[in-house]
Amino acid sequence: MKVLVTGGAGFIGSHLCDLLLARGHEVLCVDNLATGSKNNIIHIENDNFSYVRHNVTKPLYLEEKIDWIFHLASPASPIDYLELPIPTLKVGALGTYNMLGLAKEKNARFLLTSTSEVYGDPLVSPQSEEYWGNVNPIGPRGVYDEAKRFAEAITMAYHRYHGVETRIVRIFNTYGPRMRLKDGRVVPNFIGQALNGEDLTVYGDGSQTRSFCYVSDEIEGIYRLMLSDYSDPINIGNPEERTILEFANFVLKLTGTSSKIIFKELPEDDPKQRRPDITKARKILNWEPKVSLEEGLGKTIQYFKGILKNVIQ
Ligand SMILES: NC(=O)c1ccc[n+]([C@@H]2O[C@H](COP(=O)([O-])OP(=O)(O)OC[C@H]3O[C@@H](n4cnc5c(N)ncnc54)[C@H](O)[C@@H]3O)[C@@H](O)[C@H]2O)c1
């Protein structure tokens, strides 16, 4: 297949490019490097890979045929979308509109990477795809949550009205190598602090829960969804729920640091719990996560050790 990956120079996108190339596909990576980096794709030496720097909020004209579009372009960490509120809304709205237009023109299958944030601060747990969410549209996180909710709505509209073959994955917290140390998400935060001998910052009392999916599991689920014929949203994430405090203690243990845990005030609209119901992914995609938190964190810690070593040298 000839595959377009928007946001392919980002954390998840670059792993997806690796997987697609390993499975024999031709990949065109499109990214404006707003939050991604060429370092994430610099290792790729493959004639089937090409990269174009482009902002997908502007139309993209391509001569060649395209079979699949994976649309990942969007700031994704709270620090990024709080700093880039309007680009986040634009890429969720205009970027998704442009890529759906391209899918329609090329008769390509289109996959949107949506997010568990569409459930907001959920009033039910675990969250199944039928739950409509509890989102504050005008809170600081609204720029991301509502952009993704709009992106889902326009994706379904192109599917229903224009007959475009569409897929929607709702990604739950994913972690692994190529995340940025300072992207504000809890995994790089804790690991970075632990490796630098700093205290780990827990917001609130640490009783809020998250579930963490290792990136190789996440992209396998996304790939299987693209292959499927299922057009309603589907959760892909790890249902093993942990409190943030448990998780901080786990990072302390695995890094062997003498750092301590300190507590700070909870940011506005921080969800108190997050846990995917993956019944559908199990049944429809025959998918479930395989990598344990211990194994995934071990690999991520090794990666960050390498980054920090290079910074020091
Ligand atoms: N990582 C997670 O835990 C998680 C959770 C839920 C959803 N997601 C979704 O997965 C996707 C990838 O997230 P990630 O964690 O890899 O984030 P990331 O920031 O590492 O990657 C996003 C990529 O999109 C690019 N981009 C942003 N705006 C663009 C634009 N206008 N035009 C072209 N490229 C643009 C960035 O430069 C970056 O390379 C996002 O859509 C995000 O919403 C991620």
- Residue 154 in tokens: 């326009």
Q: Is 193 in the pocket of ligand 1 (CB under 6 A)?
A: no
Distance of CA 212 to the CA centre of its chain: 11
Angstrom distance (rounded) from CA 176 to CA 277: 22
Distance of CA 232 to the CA centre of its chain: 18
Cα of 97 to ligand 1 centre, how many Å? 16
Q: Which of 4, 11, 30, 102 to mutate to test the pocket of ligand 1 (most atoms within 8 A of CB)?
A: 11
Query: What is the Cβ-side half-sphere exposure of residue 33, based on CA atoms within 13 angstroms?
Result: 8
**Atom 31, ligand 1: residue with shortest CA distance:** 55
CA nearest neighbour of 170 among 74, 278, 250: 278
Pairing of strands 233-236, 166-171: parallel
Catalogue all structural domains in the chain, each as residue range(s) with its CATH number. 2-174+214-236 (3.40.50.720), 179-210+240-274+291-306 (3.90.25.10)
Q: Which atom of ligand 1 is nearest to the CA of 71?
A: 41
pLDDT one digit per residue (tens) for the chain, 313 residues: 999 999 999 999 999 999 999 999 999 999 999 999 999 999 999 999 999 999 999 999 999 999 999 999 999 998 999 999 999 999 999 999 999 999 999 999 999 999 999 999 889 989 999 999 999 999 999 999 999 999 999 999 999 999 999 999 999 999 999 999 888 889 999 999 999 999 999 999 999 888 999 999 999 999 999 999 999 999 999 999 999 999 999 999 999 998 999 999 987 767 777 899 999 999 999 999 999 999 999 999 999 999 887 765 5
Backbone phi, psi, residue 59, to 5°: -60, 150
Q: Which of 4, 5, 12 to mutate to test the pocket of ligand 1 (most atoms within 8 A of CB)?
A: 12
Secondary structure (3-state) at 248: helix
Angstrom distance (rounded) from CA 71 to CA 95: 9
Q: Which atom of ligand 1 is nearest to the CA of 87?
A: 31
Note the pTM of the prediction, 2 decimals. 0.95
CB 197 within 8 A of CB 262: no
Place of tokens 């030496």: 45
Cα of 228 to ligand 1 centre, how many Å? 23
161 catalytic? Reply is no
